[in-house]
Amino acid sequence: MRAFAVEPGARLLNVYEALFKGWNVTIPGGICYSVGIGGHIAGGGYGLLSRAHGLTVDHLYAVEVVVVDAAQHVRTVVATRDSADPNRDLWWAHAGGGGGNFGVVTKYWFRSAGATGTEPSAQLVSPPSTVLVSAVEFPWDQVTETAFTRLLNNSATGMWPTVRRPRRTPA
Ligand SMILES: Cc1cc2nc3c(=O)[nH]c(=O)nc-3n(C[C@H](O)[C@H](O)[C@H](O)COP(=O)(O)OP(=O)(O)OC[C@H]3O[C@@H](n4cnc5c(N)ncnc54)[C@H](O)[C@@H]3O)c2cc1C
């Protein structure tokens, strides 16, 4: 599949660490390291790198799912985002439809759309070399409608502390 296989019991920390140390690649998932891949990916999954790289599921190539069919037979299905795949709808359902709704996921495969070649480090986006994380707290009783509107506008127009835009590793 030219893709990184991740089993759903892994936590984000395990995935980030393995991808970064092994191949200098990543997925744009959440900042909370203890979140499980199982529910995070099926729910869409977003994080610090999402402005640059979208959701985690924008890099989801395939899922392996244990499903129960109408005859109550249990079977394992592999569904990919390939347009010719007859199971493509099942892949799509796992690209934000939420965990636990369509079966038990036993494997996720990640490969960015448009990735070429066979070099593993070219199959996913690269993490930035540095990240600036800052937190701002607002006393709720001082947040007027005007201030809240300005806050949202500033956030939407990018006047908000954010990560440096990472470069994609050339294929
Ligand atoms: C502290 C914290 C910070 C968070 N930050 C972010 C964030 O930055 N970005 C973001 O996108 N989300 C964030 N989340 C939300 C998180 O992505 C979801 O709560 C996610 O569903 C957690 O998945 P889990 O597998 O750890 O949880 P679980 O509670 O185990 O699972 C959640 C759902 O997915 C189902 N599920 C789990 N594994 C599988 C599987 N293998 N097959 C089928 N269904 C499965 C479960 O049945 C359940 O319905 C955060 C959550 C927390 C608690």
When divided into structural domains, the chain yields a total of 1
By alpha-carbon position, which residue is closest to atom 11 of ligand 1?
Answer: 45
Contact 125, 59 (CB under 8 A): yes
DSSP assignment string, 48-104: TTHHHH--GGGGEEEEEEEEE-TTS-EEEEEEES-TT-TTHHHHHHTTTS-TTSS-E
How far the first Cα of the chain sits from its last, in Å, is 17
Distance 13 CA to ligand 1 centre (A): 14
Q: Is residue 31 part of a domain?
A: yes
Is residue 152 domain-resident? no
Distance between CA atoms of 65 and 92, rounded to whole angstroms? 12
Please report the pLDDT score of residue 8 as a whole number. 97
At 163 the pLDDT is: 45
Digit-by-digit pLDDT tens for the chain (171 residues) are 999 999 999 999 999 999 999 999 999 999 999 999 999 999 999 999 998 999 999 999 999 999 998 999 999 999 999 999 999 999 999 999 998 899 999 999 999 999 999 999 999 999 998 888 877 788 889 889 998 898 888 877 866 554 444 555 554
Any residues with Cβ below 6 Å from ligand 1, and which? Answer: 8, 30-32, 35-36, 38-40, 42-43, 45-47, 99-100, 104-105
Q: What is the CATH number of the domain that holds 15?
A: 3.30.465.10
In this structure, is residue 132 part of a structural domain?
Answer: no
User: Could you tell me if residue 37 is inside a domain?
Assistant: yes
Q: How far is the CA of 96 from the centre of ligand 1 (A)?
A: 11
Q: Which domain holds residue 18?
A: 4-122
* Domain presence at residue 170: no
Q: Is residue 129 part of a domain?
A: no
